[in-house]
Amino acid sequence: MNEIRLPDATEAPGRRGPRLWLSRLEGPQTMGRGLGFWIAAALVLLAAILYPAFNNDYTVGNAAYFLVWTFMAMGLGLVWGYCGALSFGQTAFFGLAGYAYGVITINIGSAFGATWLALVLAVALGGAFALLIGYFMFYGRIKGVFIGIVTLSVTLVLETFMAQTAGPQWRIGEARLNGFNGMSGMPPLTVPWFGGEILLYAGTTLYYVLLGMVVLVYLGLRMLLNAPFGNVLVAIRENPERTEMLGYGIRLYQMLAFGLGGALAGLSGVLYTAWGQYITPSSMGLTAAALPIVWVAVGGRRDITATLLGTLIVIAGFQSLTIYGSQYALVVMGALLVFTVLVTPNGLVFTVMSQIGRIFGKGRE
């Protein structure tokens, strides 16, 4: 896993187009391969598809809420685990895209699928902002812990600014920013249909839409990470000087990875805003910025599958703990992070998956 394998122009000359990309669903940068893995993945997906049939709308709505955050977690896994840049700025891109979705939809409405146009524009804005920050960081030779400091500063500055926009002058068209209270009243995602629109409120329909998006993004990232782009990212993480000596523009690769991670965080921000029909500056606060770090660290930052599974498990556990008080949930999350760093630095889920892989691997010998 995470073997450094730089692109070879002569590799797989007979495979082009869709066949080549499908072959990249398995590779050195992602865990899980062979028929057994894909059967297990299909069974998990089948269980997720059948889940609403055995639960009420409230529980399914909570499950949809869990899925909203997976995009930001996978983006952070790409930036931190594969690119080697610890970012506290994912919630900045999350919040910026969420506010952009609110501003656009309040001004243009939701007719004729306009909410999906707003989604695309807001995600693009989050990605563009991440590219801008990434440009100044990576071409400015910022690295190591200073990346975390810069991205955390951007997040806190943006949160502080948005919290001070309470006056009536802080409006964009018909959309008021409302300061610390945040924006509300924006429409949910809608699907144009015969005789009207389908509103994707928190419920079964939204759950299935989000589930489909998670599957597509997960498979897309697997193919991207096993492509030359992902191989170069891992090489940069392990030895940037050697990778640069081989002729790769490492800062361009880092900036593009950071931009993609920001776009995925923005997608989570848009979906969160559409799910709850509100967004507040606290979604970009220090606690909000730290939680994705916990999800990815516990799951396993160097594998996209471990990141996805770990995020869902930790979020579900966190919400269960909040029943007894949010302060207890935060303490447990902090203790879990310390345990992970000291005992299983590669991530709890990643470690368990590795052990299972070794057991089944020995069984085939």
Burial class of residue 193 (count of CB atoms within 10 Å of its CB; 0-12, 13-18, 19+): exposed
Q: What is the DSSP secondary-structure string of 318-343?
A: HHHHGGG-HHHHHHHHHHHHHHHHHH
Which of 284, 299, 319 is at the close of a domain? 284
Question: Per the structure block, which two tokens stand in for 234?
Answer: 């891992």
Q: What is the pLDDT of residues 44-77, one digit of tens each?
A: 999 999 999 888 888 888 889 999 999 999 999 9
Write down the pLDDT at residue 57.
Answer: 84
- Which carries the bigger pLDDT value, residue 319 or residue 298? 298
Mean per-residue pLDDT over the chain, rounded: 88
Cα 282 from chain centroid (whole Å): 19
In a domain, 277, yes or no: yes
Coil, helix or strand for 279? strand
Question: Per the structure block, which two tokens stand in for 131?
Answer: 């590219």
Q: What is the pLDDT of residues 98-107, one digit of tens each?
A: 999 999 999 9
Q: One-letter amino acid identity for 254? A: Q
Write down the pLDDT at residue 303.
Answer: 93
| Domain extent for 346 | 285-365
- For residues 292 and 273, membership in a common domain is answered with no
Write down the pLDDT at residue 4.
Answer: 59
* Residue % of the chain over a pLDDT of 90: 54
- For residues 165 and 301, membership in a common domain is answered with no
Determine the Cα–Cα distance for residues 75 and 148; give it in Å rounded to an integer: 15
**pLDDT band (50, 70, 90) for residue 217:** very high
Write down the pLDDT at residue 326.
Answer: 65
Write down the pLDDT at residue 226.
Answer: 94
Determine the Cα–Cα distance for residues 310 and 356; give it in Å rounded to an integer: 16
Determine the Cα–Cα distance for residues 281 and 261; give it in Å rounded to an integer: 20
- For residues 128 and 68, membership in a common domain is answered with yes
Q: Which of 116-120, 269-273, 350-354 has the lowest mean pLDDT?
A: 350-354
Q: What is the dihedral of CA 95, 304, 84, 354, to 10 degrees?
A: 140
**Taking residues 219-229, what's their average pLDDT?**
95
Write down the pLDDT at residue 14.
Answer: 47
- For residues 333 and 224, membership in a common domain is answered with no
In a domain, 43, yes or no: no
Q: Which residues contact 119 (CB under 8 A, 6 or more apart)?
A: 101, 189, 267, 270, 274
Model confidence at 359: pLDDT above 80: no
What HEC string does 303-323 produce? CHHHHHHHHHHHHHHHHHHHH
Write down the pLDDT at residue 13.
Answer: 46
Q: What is the pLDDT of residues 152-210, one digit of tens each?
A: 999 999 999 999 998 888 889 888 898 888 898 888 888 877 766 777 776 788 899 99
In a domain, 44, yes or no: no
- For residues 263 and 309, membership in a common domain is answered with no
In a domain, 256, yes or no: yes
- For residues 272 and 310, membership in a common domain is answered with no
Model confidence at 79: pLDDT above 80: yes
CB-based contacts of 163-171 (< 8 A; 24+ apart in sequence): 163/281
Which of 232, 265, 284 is at the close of a domain? 284
**Taking residues 123-143, what's their average pLDDT?**
95
How many independent structural domains does the chain possess? 2
Write down the pLDDT at residue 5.
Answer: 58
In a domain, 23, yes or no: no
Angle formed at CA 119 by CA 115 and CA 123, multiple of 5 degrees? 170
Which of 239, 266, 284 is at the close of a domain? 284
Write down the pLDDT at residue 365.
Answer: 39
Q: Which of 238-252, 281-295, 320-334 has the lowest mean pLDDT?
A: 320-334
- Which carries the bigger pLDDT value, residue 313 or residue 10? 313
pTM, whole model, 2 decimals?
0.91
* CA neighbor of 229 nearest in space, from 248, 207, 246: 248
